Amino acid sequence: AQSVAQPEDQVNVAEGNPLTVKCTYSVSGNPYLFWYVQYPNRGLQFLLKYITGDNLVKGSYGFEAEFNKSQTSFHLKKPSALVSDSALYFCAVRGPGAGSYQLTFGKGTKLSVIP
Amino acid sequence: DTAVSQTPKYLVTQMGNDKSIKCEQNLGHDTMYWYKQDSKKFLKIMFSYNNKELIINETVPNRFSPKSPDKAHLNLHINSLELGDSAVYFCASSQGLRPSTDTQYFGPGTRLTVL
């Protein structure tokens, strides 16, 4: 079974500082990995995904994520945090193969950017 | 020009009632999903349809029944509502199921409160 762990319930960072939101995964075979963001009372918005190729994936709003196969991690990063980045961030994984349609989400990490 | 829309946005009802939530996407996608987000923000897939065919049917009570009249719509009908059904229900769609087309786009959610 596939799973995702987001070890931090909450991450606090000062505006202008770099931010990292952690994610590790477990899946059979090569993973497909996603990051989504949820603003209060809104649906999830797609940020970025890793399928194959370059381990550093760039996404929306200046976010990027680094795929590390040996550590089974896919941490989300941004060089300089904005107050408007404050939201709930979800990592998700699906497995390879035609039958692996299901996206499994982590429990989410609340990011607070302090002015 | 909303991509994935849900109605209603809020639904407050009594235990034992039957209710429906509607979802429509105007993206021309082939695949649609229903998720449940509980009070702890945990997100879990319930159902998925691809080209009007049910492909994911997670372990949910059979009081929940999805219906896809066409590829642009996936409705969720809930019979005999219980207190534990209170949650936010999200609809999502993706172009397809292959890794290159499986990015999911979410609706704004329907907050269901069962009294």
Residue A9 has pLDDT above 80, yes or no: yes
Task: Return phi, psi of residue A11, to 5°.
Answer: -125, 130
Per the prediction, chain A carries an average pLDDT of: 93
Chain-centroid distance of CA A35 in Å reads 4
What is the structure's pLDDT at B99? 77
Closest-CA residue to B67 (of B27, B108, B23, B110)? B23
Residue A97 has pLDDT above 70, yes or no: no
What sign for the dihedral angle of Cα B82, B88, B91, B92? negative
Tell me A55's DSSP state.
Answer: S
How much of chain A exceeds pLDDT 90, in percent? 77
Rounded CA separation B64/B14 (Å): 16
pLDDT digit string, tens, across residues B3-20? 999 999 999 999 999 999
To the nearest whole Å, the CA of A7 is away from the closest chain B CA by 14
- Chain A residues near residue B104 by CB distance under 8 angstroms: 44, 46, 103
**Pairwise CB contact (< 8 Å): A42 & B109:** yes
| A40 touching B (Cβ < 8 Å) | no
For residues A53-60, average pLDDT: 93
| B102 touching A (Cβ < 8 Å) | yes
What is the structure's pLDDT at A1? 80
Rounded CA separation B4/A110 (Å): 24
Residue A98 has pLDDT above 70, yes or no: no
Residue A29 has pLDDT above 90, yes or no: no
| B40 touching A (Cβ < 8 Å) | yes
pLDDT digit string, tens, across residues B55-85? 888 878 999 999 999 999 999 999 999 999 9
Q: Which residue has the higher pLDDT, A42 or A63?
A: A63
| A61 touching B (Cβ < 8 Å) | no
**Pairwise CB contact (< 8 Å): B103 & A34:** yes
Residue B115 has pLDDT above 70, yes or no: yes
Residue B30 has pLDDT above 70, yes or no: yes
pLDDT digit string, tens, across residues A30-51? 899 999 999 988 889 999 999 8
For residues B32-51, average pLDDT: 92
Closest-CA residue to A76 (of A53, A54, A47, A105)? A47
Residue B37 has pLDDT above 80, yes or no: yes
